[in-house]
Amino acid sequence: MTYLQLAYAHLATVFPAFLIATYLLVNRKGTPVHRLLGKIYMILMLVTATFTLFMSAEVGPTLLGHFGFIHLFSALVFFSVPSAYFAAKRGDTKTHKGRMVGLYIGGLLIAGSFAFMPGRLIHTLLFA
């Protein structure tokens, strides 16, 4: 896949993940709908984080000419999703909630806000 194809694939997975996560945060927890949407959200986040690993950092310093600080959010996803899933499975709602809120803030809000910075694809598409 080209960089542009990866970027669009990333957007196609992260945008619905954002919508689902927002819905999950503001609605009742533990319901069958919450569980189903939560699994879909987790899968979307893992897929979107995987796409980002193949996208080289376009802004800032890089490691090995590819990975940048933005890739730390991918690591956050790969840690938070399984951790939150297994916490929910064992009934540890405190850990589950903490991981999911942290993922929403770090993986969606903070990382997403970087997409609007100059030099990034979303900024170019929206403001150029």
Query: Between these two residues, 69 and 76, which has the higher pLDDT value?
Result: 76
Q: Crossing angle for the helix pair 72-89 and 32-53, nearest 10 degrees?
A: 150
pLDDT above 90 for 115: no
The pLDDT tens digits for 15-33 are 999 999 999 999 999 999 9
Give the predicted TM-score (pTM) of the model.
0.91
pLDDT above 90 for 74: yes
**Annotated domain spans of the chain:** 3-127
* Distance (Å) of CA 37 to CA 20, 42, 72: 7, 9, 25
Query: Between these two residues, 92 and 68, which has the higher pLDDT value?
Result: 92
